[in-house]
């Protein structure tokens, strides 16, 4: 979940529309002497800029190894004395003071993403002053029907060189994907489907019923979704079709088949997202009607697009009594000795002696121990 990929962070910084908008919002929100918290600081660029805008103290929180790069950048830019870098999840962090401003850009294509809602709700409650600001302040979700965005054909290929691909296509038809949607691919006037106020996050899930009307004829391939955000006062960004491309892209919830629509067709949509095990499960139910008759109707869900095994599901049942696998036994062995405050080399020697078939040399055992230490050691 927190893998460090420097190219990913570099790509975010290369998105000038995103960066410029966040900097404009920070410049407006941060007053001289302000305390700032950045959640998901990455390489620390915004934390450094917060110092330049007058922050007296910045708490830059990041669970990945990118924080080591952030420390180097802070030293190179002469502000390491004003930034406290914290390598952890923000929900596990306790700060000595409350912030005037929280800055965060945790979400993916849409705001309903992984634990973003929970994370920011927790940060506002525990880190922010009563008169504080959150960047972004609010985000809105928009939905329409679209044709032919770039990945739409992936779920339509049923045969290749005589090989039946329908089982793959059936799974792909139930998976929302990142897309690049152009304005001329929009078939109906977009409608507002959701609003998130980050100063007062209420429900973390989404459930909305919409009725769209096709404004022109075309081949409907799915639902297109995007967001626009108010970062601070009049500073806004949007990943809507027709706007300058941003790193977020748009979301496509595909139909299992292309549907020819005509101007005036009614498209009823029930769209939902609910948190489950640190992710969001999306469902989209669509009915297309023409002159009161149903042209097409689909019921789709991310859950139906998952590759599940019966044995895997069995292991998650509340009545299941687990038994540690060989890998689990090794990890437990290492963790118990880490809890006894033993050096890694000593743990590696004991690991090799206890599991000689898995580790033929002390160095191979040390590699395994070091990996566990990197994950769990303080």
204, 276 in Cβ contact below 8 A? no
Angstrom CA distances, 329 to 118, 183, 333, 351, 378, stand at 33, 55, 6, 11, 22
Long-range contacts of 368-377 (CB under 8 A, 24+ apart): 368/330, 368/334, 369/334, 369/344, 370/344, 372/331, 372/334, 372/335, 372/338, 373/338, 373/344, 376/335, 376/338, 377/338
- Residue 84, classed as helix, strand or coil, is strand
CA 368 – CA 348 distance, rounded (Å): 8
Band (pLDDT 50/70/90 cuts) for residue 1 is very low
Per-residue pLDDT of 66-85, as tens digits, reads 899 999 999 999 999 999 99
Q: How many CB atoms lie within 10 A of CB 12?
A: 17
| DSSP assigned state of 20 | H
Residue spans of the domains in the chain: they are 6-105, 139-311, 326-376
152, 221 in Cβ contact below 8 A? yes
CA 315 – CA 294 distance, rounded (Å): 42
CA 39 – CA 44 distance, rounded (Å): 10
Band (pLDDT 50/70/90 cuts) for residue 312 is low
> Which residues, listed in sequence order, are joined to residue 146 by a DSSP beta bridge?
186, 222
> Which residues, listed in sequence order, are joined to residue 99 by a DSSP beta bridge?
128
| DSSP assigned state of 188 | B
CA 308 – CA 211 distance, rounded (Å): 33
Band (pLDDT 50/70/90 cuts) for residue 152 is low
pLDDT at 2: 43
pLDDT at 276: 82
Within this chain, domains 6-105 and 139-311 share the same CATH topology: no
Q: Supply the CATH classification number for the domain 139-311.
A: 2.70.160.11
The whole-chain average pLDDT of the chain stands at: 90
CATH of 6-105, one of 3.40.50.300, 3.60.20.10, 3.40.50.150, 3.90.105.10: 3.40.50.150
Per-residue pLDDT of 344-367, as tens digits, reads 999 999 999 999 999 988 899 999
CA 163 – CA 244 distance, rounded (Å): 40
């Amino acid at each position: 979940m927190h893998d460090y990929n420097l190219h990913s962070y570099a790509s975010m910084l290369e998105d000038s529309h995103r960066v410029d908008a966040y900097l404009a919002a920070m410049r407006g929100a941060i007053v001289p002497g302000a305390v700032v918290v950045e959640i998901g600081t990455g390489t620390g660029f915004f934390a450094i800029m917060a110092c330049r805008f007058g922050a007296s103290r910045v708490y830059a929180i990041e669970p990945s190894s990118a924080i080591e790069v952030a420390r180097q950048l802070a030293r190179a830019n002469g502000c390491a004395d004003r930034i406290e870098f914290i390598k952890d999840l923000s929900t596990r962090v306790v700060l000595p003071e409350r912030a005037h401003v929280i800055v965060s850009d945790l979400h993916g294509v849409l705001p309903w993403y992984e634990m973003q809602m929970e994370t920011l709700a927790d940060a506002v409650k525990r880190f922010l002053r009563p008169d504080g600001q959150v960047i972004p302040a609010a985000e809105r979700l928009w939905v329409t029907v679209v044709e032919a965005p770039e990945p739409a054909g992936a779920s339509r290929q049923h045969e290749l060189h005589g090989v039946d691909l329908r089982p793959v296509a059936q799974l792909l038809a139930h998976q929302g994907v990142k897309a690049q949607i152009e304005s001329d691919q929009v078939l109906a006037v977009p409608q507002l489907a959701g609003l998130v106020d980050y100063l007062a996050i209420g429900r973390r899930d989404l459930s909305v019923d919409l009725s769209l009307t096709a404004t022109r004829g075309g081949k409907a391939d799915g639902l297109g979704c995007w967001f626009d955000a108010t970062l601070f006062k009049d500073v806004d960004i949007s990943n809507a079709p027709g706007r300058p491309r941003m790193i977020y892209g748009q979301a496509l919830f595909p139909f299992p088949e292309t549907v020819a629509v005509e101007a005036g067709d009614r498209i009823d949509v029930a769209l939902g997202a609910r948190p489950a095990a640190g992710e969001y499960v999306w469902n989209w139910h669509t009915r297309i009607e023409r002159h009161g008759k149903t042209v097409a109707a689909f019921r789709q869900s991310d859950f139906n697009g998952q590759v599940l095994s019966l044995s895997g599901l069995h292991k998650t049942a509340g009545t299941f009594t687990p038994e540690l696998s060989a890998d689990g036994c090794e990890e437990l062995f290492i963790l118990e000795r880490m809890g006894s405050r033993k050096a890694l080399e000593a743990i590696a020697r004991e690991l090799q002696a206890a599991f000689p078939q898995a580790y033929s040399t002390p160095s191979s055992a040390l590699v395994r121990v070091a990996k566990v230490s990197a994950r769990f050691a303080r």
